[in-house]
Amino acid sequence: MVSEAKKQLPIRPGYFELPSSPGEETRLVGALCRPCSEYFFPARSVCLRCGREGLEPVALSSRGKVWTFTVVHMPPPGSLVTAPYVVAVVELPEGPLVPTVLTGCDPSAVRIGMEAEMYVEKVGEDENGNQLMAYKFKAA
Amino acid sequence: MARKEVAILGVGLHKFGRFPEKKVEELGREAGLMALKDAGVDYRDIQIGFCAHVQQAVGTGLRTFGELGMTGIPVTNVEVACASASRGVVLAAELIAAGVYDLALVIGVEKMQRGMIDASRGAERTYEDLLGLMPMPGVYAYKAQRHMHLYGTKREHFAQVSVISHNNGALNPYAQYQTPIALEEVLNSRMIADPITLYQCSPTTDGASAVVVCSKEKARQYATKPVLLVGWAMGTPQYIPGDPSTSNQLLSEGNTPELARRAYEAAGVGPSDIGVVQVHDAFSPGVIFNAEDLGFCPKGEGGTFVWEGNTEINGKIPINTDGGLESRGHPIGATGGAMIAELYWQVKGQAGPRQVKDARVALLQNVGLGGENVMVFTM
């Protein structure tokens, strides 16, 4: 039996685009209502400002500032994370507030306003051995 | 046609706690019978029912009301997470104000598992679930950290809410927890999501509440001076362009300042007229945020407002005089009705050791993952 090459897949679709060719970066996917100049994350179908459909998928910035955070000591049911871990809401230059796990910083040192950079990491495997990927932000 | 005025004719509660031997409809029956007796109303005169619950089985409304009788009236289950029972009362009020019905019964019930609530109901785990982005105190923890950053609010301020709640709960025979807790105990209890410790979280609880809602005209057949529901507003979070926090489920559950504004306007009162309050304190910071959003103190000053004793029973603006969600307990579907019961007793001067001095006008703010209700009562 010929085994298929193992792939990297987003653990859930729609939040980010993995690179399709080498040298490309993973980018968060938002939705842009061009007439409103309003960006949304996660991407949505209907503009909250003007109500029109057919918003454009856009690649969002990968760097932002911590808008708020908390240190979680009891993970919610069904989660893949181990406590304690930091969750943050990162504000991107385009406007959206992105909820994320925050790494690369001692939990006691996290500060609102600090910079953070998006990356992707394997958080699991599917039954075919493909790597399931999630976006996270690292303190920068 | 002019809108009719709405009265609250009676309330009832089943004690909040753990009742593994009782079926959920039995809890509801006890609360329902107490409310009907308080109102002096025969179940057979009730024209419409609402059953508020979040985690119970299909058919719970049918079975709960079935305990009281089978008169063929419409009974509808209402679910707005923690705001279910107050939403049931608001919906009944809307129908009564419109002249469609005269007499309604709203029963809130819940039996819960211990430990963290799993809201997914067996649906596939979302991205947010898998990455643990929404811990139990979610919105409250995120907002608390920001409140500390923007306004210098301290952990002690949030913890003090729990101290006051448990002092009040000790005066409430229906409360799940009737023992005071010291500030240090609250601060040193297990951290859940910083800054929220275990004793700053409302518990899981079994319990039931019931409210008889009536037109003011019809209420005169039963009571010389009924408690009146004089203003209300209901809603969901509202997107404000340029403020992405308003469209984010992790950061916003309602639109408290706007709903309060509408309820105050409908009732013809303002924050300075309010003598007693029930706010949603699923987690301690709720009292601080809502004291600000309901207009009792300036934005950012909620921490010191609570710390200085203003929200205690003998304070300037008593909040959660019966222990609130934290101490009274939080059977999700029943909580809104328990809030109404306490305010009803306060307005009537029947709150015993919890009675505040001036309870002429009472305010309720009840919110969950799904919506929010603000209500004004007087007599």
- Answer yes or no: are the C-beta atoms of A118 and A135 closer than 8 Å: yes
Residue of B nearest to A110 (CA): B145
Give residue-wise pLDDT tens across range B102-154. Answer: 999 999 999 998 888 888 777 889 999 999 999 989 899 999 999 999 999 99
SS3 B336: helix
Integer Rg of chain B from CA: 19
Residue of A nearest to B245 (CA): A97
Hey, are the CB atoms on B145 and A11 less than 8 Å from each other?
A: no
The reported pTM is 0.96
What are phi and psi for residue B75, nearest 5 degrees? Answer: -125, 125
Hey, are the CB atoms on A79 and B244 less than 8 Å from each other?
A: no
For the question of residue B147 being annotated catalytic, the response is: no
Asked whether residue B2 carries a pLDDT value surpassing 90, the answer given is: no
For residues B270, B200, A106, B153, the Cα torsion angle rounded to the nearest 10 degrees is 30
Q: Is the peptide bond before A84 cis (omega within 30 degrees of 0)?
A: yes
Catalytic option among B14, B166, B280, B330: B330
The reply to whether B241 touches chain A by the CB within 8 Å rule is yes
Give residue-wise pLDDT tens across range B243-258. Answer: 889 988 888 888 999 9
The reply to whether B190 touches chain A by the CB within 8 Å rule is yes
Which pLDDT score is estimated for B224? Answer: 86
A84-114: string of b/e by CB count within 10 Å (b at 16+)? Answer: ebbbbbbbbebbbbbbbbbeebeeeebebeb
Q: Which residues of A touch B130 (CB under 8 A)?
A: 11-12, 78-80, 123, 134
Which pLDDT score is estimated for A2? Answer: 54
Report the DSSP beta bridge partners of residue B361. B378
The reply to whether B129 touches chain A by the CB within 8 Å rule is yes
Among A15-19, A130-134, B113-117, which stretch is predicted with the lowest mean pLDDT?
Answer: B113-117
Hey, are the CB atoms on A87 and B133 less than 8 Å from each other?
A: yes
For the question of residue B330 being annotated catalytic, the response is: yes
Using the structure block, give the residue that is written with the tokens 């209700």.
B373
**Residues B74, B366, B228, CA angle at the centre, nearest 5°?**
65
Mean pLDDT of A78-100: 96
Q: Which residues of A touch B285 (CB under 8 A)?
A: none
Which pLDDT score is estimated for B11? Answer: 98
ipTM of the modeled complex: 0.93
Hey, are the CB atoms on B248 and A70 less than 8 Å from each other?
A: no
**Which of B124, B131, B149, B158 to mutate: most A Cβ within 10 Å?**
B131
The reply to whether B369 touches chain A by the CB within 8 Å rule is no
Which pLDDT score is estimated for B250? Answer: 85
Tally Cβ neighbours within 10 Å of residue A19: 12
Which pLDDT score is estimated for B337? Answer: 98
In the structure, what pLDDT confidence band is assigned to residue A4 with cuts at 50, 70 and 90? low
Give residue-wise pLDDT tens across range B40-78. Answer: 999 999 999 999 999 999 999 999 999 999 999 999 999
Which pLDDT score is estimated for A16? Answer: 96
Q: How many residue pairs bridge chain A and chain B with CB atoms within 8 Å of each other?
A: 115
- In three-state form (DSSP H/G/I as H, E/B as E, the rest C), the secondary structure along B243-292 is EHHHHCCCCCCCCHHHHHHHHHHHHCCCHHHCCEEECCCCECHHHHHHHH
**B342 vs A2, residue with greater confidence:** B342
Hey, are the CB atoms on B135 and A74 less than 8 Å from each other?
A: yes
Mean pLDDT of A96-112: 97
- Answer yes or no: are the C-beta atoms of B347 and B360 closer than 8 Å: yes
Helices (H) and strands (E) in chain B, counts: 13, 11
Mean pLDDT of A122-135: 94
Give residue-wise pLDDT tens across range B146-194. Answer: 999 999 999 999 999 999 999 999 999 999 999 999 999 999 999 999 9
Hey, are the CB atoms on A76 and B146 less than 8 Å from each other?
A: no
Q: Which residues of B touch A68 (CB under 8 A)?
A: 142-143, 145-146, 149, 251
Residue of B nearest to A15 (CA): B127
Which pLDDT score is estimated for A103? Answer: 98
Give the CA distances from residue B123 to residues A78, B13, B120, B231, B323, in Å, rounded to whole numbers and listed in that order: 11, 32, 5, 37, 34
In the structure, what pLDDT confidence band is assigned to residue A20 with cuts at 50, 70 and 90? confident
**Residues A36, A37, A38, CA angle at the centre, nearest 5°?**
85
Mean pLDDT of B221-226: 92
Asked whether residue A3 carries a pLDDT value surpassing 60, the answer given is: no
Give residue-wise pLDDT tens across range B267-298. Answer: 999 999 999 999 999 999 999 999 999 999 99
- Answer yes or no: are the C-beta atoms of B106 and B88 closer than 8 Å: yes
Asked whether residue A58 carries a pLDDT value surpassing 70, the answer given is: yes
For residue B353, the 8-state DSSP code is G
In the structure, what pLDDT confidence band is assigned to residue A1 with cuts at 50, 70 and 90? low
Asked whether residue B1 carries a pLDDT value surpassing 80, the answer given is: no
